[in-house]
Structure formats: structure tokens, C-alpha cells
């Protein structure tokens, strides 16, 4: 999802994907998509189906852009992987170097990933990201609702946080004591 004025990797770039994911989630739960799931021929008549796929392709584009940024910034295969995308790219480069994939010029294989491994990585990263985000949102939502309904737990939580976050001269106000 390339937008003018938004640099890949920036906070605005990361935040631009959240509305897409929320719209896609809402579409999955809609009555129209339920009808398409049960009667596939209805996809030709219901616009939600095409909006769902359009948002899905925009999410794939977002992750492909993210992979391109990682691939460009990944300097050496010797350094430690920082995340799933780096580890995947390093493993694919290793397999290309050892000849697991056939290229016309075996002595000079490409240092970049071809489309098939990239789209596979984009789909896997999207599944991991969406699953992690939905789980985190659900857990936080449940915790906030629980704290709203149980003020005594809220007071206990405040006291525990207050004992861990200590304000003193040698520590800043939000540094955790070890």
C-alpha cells in the first residue's frame, strides 16, 4: 500500500494499515459475507466480497513493502535475526547460495527473493500479525472491562504498579526497579 508522502517503515506507514485490517475484520463478520460463504454464486452480486478482497490485496501490498524494507536493510547473514522476516530472508538467501533453487547463472545467484517466496512470507507475516494483534486487543479489552467492574482489583493493581515504579533521585519517574 504505497501512499505519497508516507515513507515505508515510518509510524504513519505502520498506522495506515490498521483501518484496513479493522474494515476487513468487520467484513468477515457481515451478513453479506456469510451469504457468500454459504452461496458462493452470490459473490457476483454482493459488493462486500470485492471490497474484502481489495482490502486483502492492500494488506499483502503492505507486507510486501515491509519485506522490501527488511531486505534492503539486511546487510549481513552473520548478524543475529531481529524478527521473523529477517530470519526468513536469511534462510532463503542461504538456500539460494547452496543451490536449492535453480537459476540460469548458478555462479552468481540473485541476492534478492523472487516473487513466490516473498508472497509466501507476506501471507505468513500477515497471519502472524493479525493473530497477534487480535489476541492482544481481546486480552486488553477483557482486562479493562474486568478492572472497570472490580474497583478493589483496580486499587490493588495501582498499589503494585506504584511499588514497582519508584520515583527517586537516581532513577527517572518511569524506570522500573530491578
In this predicted structure, what is the pLDDT of residue 172? 58
For 91-126, what is each residue's pLDDT tens digit? 888 877 777 666 555 555 555 666 678 888 988 988
Q: What is the pLDDT of residue 43?
A: 86
pLDDT of residue 51: 85
Residue 30 contacts residue 50 (beta carbons within 8 Å): no
At residue 1 the predicted structure's pLDDT band, cuts being 50, 70 and 90, is very low
Which pLDDT value is given to residue 151?
94
What are the tens digits of pLDDT across the range 4-59? 455 656 667 667 777 777 777 778 778 888 888 889 898 888 888 888 888 888 88
Statement: residue 144 has pLDDT above 90: yes
Who wins on pLDDT, 1 or 60?
60
Of residues 94 and 85, more confidence is placed in: 85
Amino acid at each position: 500500500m504505497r501512499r505519497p508522502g508516507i515513507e515505508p517503515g515510518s509510524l504513519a506507514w505502520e498506522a495506515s494499515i490498521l483501518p484496513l485490517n479493522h474494515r476487513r475484520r468487520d467484513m468477515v463478520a457481515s451478513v453479506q459475507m456469510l451469504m457468500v460463504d454459504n452461496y458462493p454464486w452470490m459473490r457476483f452480486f454482493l459488493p462486500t466480497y470485492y471490497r474484502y478482497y481489495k482490502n486483502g490485496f492492500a494488506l499483502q501490498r503492505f507486507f510486501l513493502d515491509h519485506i522490501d524494507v527488511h531486505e534492503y536493510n539486511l546487510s549481513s547473514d552473520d548478524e543475529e535475526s531481529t524478527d521473523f522476516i529477517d530470519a526468513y530472508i536469511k534462510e532463503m538467501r542461504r538456500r539460494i547460495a547452496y543451490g536449492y533453487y535453480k537459476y540460469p547463472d548458478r555462479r552468481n545467484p540473485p541476492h534478492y527473493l523472487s516473487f513466490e517466496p516473498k508472497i509466501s512470507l507476506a501471507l505468513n507475516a500477515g497471519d502472524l500479525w493479525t493473530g497477534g494483534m487480535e489476541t492482544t486487543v481481546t486480552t486488553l479489552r477483557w482486562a479493562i472491562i474486568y478492572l472497570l467492574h472490580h474497583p478493589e482489583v483496580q486499587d490493588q493493581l495501582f498499589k503494585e504498579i506504584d511499588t514497582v515504579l519508584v520515583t527517586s533521585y537516581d532513577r527517572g519517574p518511569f524506570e522500573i526497579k530491578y
